[in-house]
Chains A and B, each alone.
Chain A
């Protein structure tokens, strides 16, 4: 018989009034692993892990600890389990009327009732590891956000916990500190062997330190598995998370990912006989990035999107389907009937031939790249299929040249 997982959520449901936050969550946390829960803000990631430590009680469903329902445990056993869990709050929740040292020492003094010299030795050792020995007599409000985070981490680890829950441990940290905290979580997890359950937005950084990833969306677990499995899964939400480096770029350019495009289409009334779509792609995006850099490549893509908006009109929906390509779902009212996509591509091609569409803002840099385009009929709002069909029939529309400074 196999060993039951350390913690298992079974059909967990939780609502706050009419707001259903968890709608049947099933998830397993294995001992000694780092499991990271990712998802958009406000989907209930923190609510989920607060159930483990008893800060929230589920409306229905079960939390099993080594196969035993947490809710049915006798108080002493439940207390013993709670004693093995530490929680690092998103807001740090440091005691603002206590010094840094007292904050870190509190669990040892109150829970373990250790002798004071031992408390001092242990707390100081941890504070030194976290590069905080010089602030022990300061109060939390006198520290920077990053330092407060580290104090909270020290307090969570001082009790040698078996399970540590990290609620967005890197929020508010600069990139260097963020990397340091993630590395520290990974290092300590390997060193002490505790089970880490982390809620984070730091995709894809957390993938490097996680054994398992779970995606929470609309109250349910959409995906659970290793980061490699996640990457290979093709799950739309997962793909969007993995492509999150592109997210800022998409936001700036006013387009969505493929999943977002699908959602926006679903929210609109279906057109009779489907809608027409066109794919525009920059040839060899990787090469372009090498040549022009990320910011330069962004200018090319932005110019391409500008062209699409100009010819498709305000009702068009644009979704990114790859690093250098996007699908433009044309408005049903666009003139041209069944050849609306063809007319759209011709318009783009004409403008490309005229040039002067893109400026890089670097006087000594001038690059041109081929723009490919293809048309497709959107069936049942399946953007993925439409993009594939358009890609298969794509032809060169012209070259987009950028240079000449600003």
Chain B
């Protein structure tokens, strides 16, 4: 009776380790297969279109409004200290170092990541992945690697567009609506943002790309191993899990990168 909680904890711990190990192996396999020759150029371009181009409109829109909100909130905070001239720097640094990569990743998880899980999950339950296996076609290379490559190419580009639109959004509220000097706004951005900030944001977006593509694919690929829920229910559970875990991992890794590497 008293040992039950310890047993439960042990079971959960072992299960977590098993899952973590399987995910790590899966991710490494997918990344290695993405680099193996011949490169899957056409499939990667398809994924860049799906993850990048198809997400562009929503990223631009979210970027614009995020920047506008930052402009508004930043102005009201800075004006209390008479430093409203620093608005451009505040908006740009917040976006480039932090909000751009994180919000882009979260938007792409919702739009493309969930679709990746559902697509691979349906292929798993309808034996299409087994069919690839019997044809001696590596399912991880065929299905997952192009998604990883497509995400690695798309995420930094989407983040750059997000940052740009955010800065424009900040300009609209800060300069056009609230009357901050336009020259000061751009000058402060230019003087405050350093190359290391841009590189840091770029590195974050690359890490997030790998996390999102591998975690969403992993959840779909192992849909059949779920203890609760088979078939369509299993796919829906996998999709939900993929979105939640990807978001959590993005935020945790964001903290780790910011505190140790930036």
8 Å CB interface, B114-138 against A: 119, 122-123, 126-128, 130-131, 133-137
Task: Say yes or no: B134 contacts A96, CB within 8 Å.
Answer: no
* Min distance, Cβ B172 to any Cβ of chain A, angstroms: 41
**Alpha-carbon separation in the docked complex, A111 to B137 (Å):** 7
Q: A55 an interface residue at 8 Å Cβ cutoff?
A: yes
Q: B142 an interface residue at 8 Å Cβ cutoff?
A: yes
Q: A79 an interface residue at 8 Å Cβ cutoff?
A: yes
Q: Nearest chain-B residue to A111 (Cβ)?
A: B136
| Contacts A96-B126, A110-B142; A89 near B131 (Cβ below 8 A) | yes
Q: Nearest chain-B residue to A165 (Cβ)?
A: B134
Residues of A within 8 A of B137 (CB): 106-107, 110-111
Task: Say yes or no: B135 contacts A55, CB within 8 Å.
Answer: no
Q: Which of A53, A91, A97, A107 contacts B127 (CB 8 A)?
A: A91
Contact with B along A78-115 (1 / 0, CB 8 A): 01001101110101011111000000001100110000
8 Å CB interface, A17-72 against B: 53-55
Residues of A within 8 A of B122 (CB): 96
Q: Nearest chain-A residue to B127 (Cβ)?
A: A93
* Min distance, Cβ B190 to any Cβ of chain A, angstroms: 47
* Min distance, Cβ A314 to any Cβ of chain B, angstroms: 40
**Alpha-carbon separation in the docked complex, A65 to B37 (Å):** 31
* Min distance, Cβ A77 to any Cβ of chain B, angstroms: 13
| Contacts A87-B131, A93-B131, A110-B142; A79 near B126 (Cβ below 8 A) | no
* Min distance, Cβ B46 to any Cβ of chain A, angstroms: 11
Q: Nearest chain-A residue to B123 (Cβ)?
A: A95
**Alpha-carbon separation in the docked complex, A54 to B130 (Å):** 10
**Alpha-carbon separation in the docked complex, A145 to B122 (Å):** 19
Q: Nearest chain-A residue to B119 (Cβ)?
A: A97
Q: Which of B123, B128, B136 contacts A82 (CB 8 A)?
A: B136
**Alpha-carbon separation in the docked complex, A53 to B131 (Å):** 10
* Min distance, Cβ B115 to any Cβ of chain A, angstroms: 12
**Alpha-carbon separation in the docked complex, A393 to B142 (Å):** 71
Q: Which of A54, A82, A91 contacts B126 (CB 8 A)?
A: A91
**Alpha-carbon separation in the docked complex, A105 to B133 (Å):** 16
* Min distance, Cβ A255 to any Cβ of chain B, angstroms: 36
Task: Say yes or no: B134 contacts A83, CB within 8 Å.
Answer: no
Residues of B within 8 A of A53 (CB): 133-134
Task: Say yes or no: B136 contacts A93, CB within 8 Å.
Answer: no
**Number of A-B contacts defined by CB within 8 Å:** 46
Q: Nearest chain-A residue to B135 (Cβ)?
A: A107
| Contacts A89-B127, A91-B127, A93-B128; A55 near B136 (Cβ below 8 A) | no
* Min distance, Cβ A231 to any Cβ of chain B, angstroms: 33
Task: Say yes or no: A55 contacts B134, CB within 8 Å.
Answer: yes
* Min distance, Cβ B250 to any Cβ of chain A, angstroms: 28
Residues of A within 8 A of B119 (CB): 97
**Alpha-carbon separation in the docked complex, A159 to B135 (Å):** 9
Q: Nearest chain-B residue to A95 (Cβ)?
A: B128
* Min distance, Cβ A153 to any Cβ of chain B, angstroms: 13
Task: Say yes or no: B142 contacts A87, CB within 8 Å.
Answer: no
Task: Say yes or no: B128 contacts A96, CB within 8 Å.
Answer: yes
Residues of B within 8 A of A97 (CB): 119
* Min distance, Cβ A42 to any Cβ of chain B, angstroms: 16
Task: Say yes or no: A55 contacts B128, CB within 8 Å.
Answer: no
Residues of A within 8 A of B123 (CB): 95
Residues of A within 8 A of B142 (CB): 110
Contact with B along A159-196 (1 / 0, CB 8 A): 10000000000000000000000000000000000000
Task: Say yes or no: A83 contacts B136, CB within 8 Å.
Answer: yes
Residues of B within 8 A of A96 (CB): 122, 126, 128
Task: Say yes or no: A54 contacts B133, CB within 8 Å.
Answer: yes
Q: Nearest chain-B residue to A158 (Cβ)?
A: B135
* Min distance, Cβ A366 to any Cβ of chain B, angstroms: 55
* Min distance, Cβ A65 to any Cβ of chain B, angstroms: 15
Task: Say yes or no: B135 contacts A110, CB within 8 Å.
Answer: yes
* Min distance, Cβ B120 to any Cβ of chain A, angstroms: 12
Task: Say yes or no: A79 contacts B134, CB within 8 Å.
Answer: no
* Min distance, Cβ B3 to any Cβ of chain A, angstroms: 24
Residues of A within 8 A of B136 (CB): 79, 82-83, 111
Q: Nearest chain-B residue to A159 (Cβ)?
A: B135
Interface centre among B128, B130, B135 (most CB of A within 10 A): B135
* Min distance, Cβ A197 to any Cβ of chain B, angstroms: 13
**Alpha-carbon separation in the docked complex, A367 to B244 (Å):** 75
* Min distance, Cβ B162 to any Cβ of chain A, angstroms: 30
* Min distance, Cβ A140 to any Cβ of chain B, angstroms: 10
What are 8 A-B contacts with C-beta separation under 8 Å? Answer: A53-B134, A86-B134, A93-B127, A94-B128, A95-B131, A106-B135, A106-B137, A111-B136
Residues of A bordering B, CB below 8 Å: 53-55, 79, 82-83, 85-87, 89, 91, 93-97, 106-107, 110-111, 159
Q: Which 6 A-B pairs have the closest CB atoms?
A: A93-B131, A87-B134, A93-B127, A110-B137, A107-B135, A53-B134
Known: A79-B136, A111-B137. 17 other contacts (CB 8 A): A55-B130, A55-B133, A55-B134, A82-B134, A82-B136, A89-B127, A89-B131, A91-B126, A91-B127, A93-B131, A94-B131, A95-B128, A95-B131, A106-B135, A110-B135, A111-B135, A159-B135
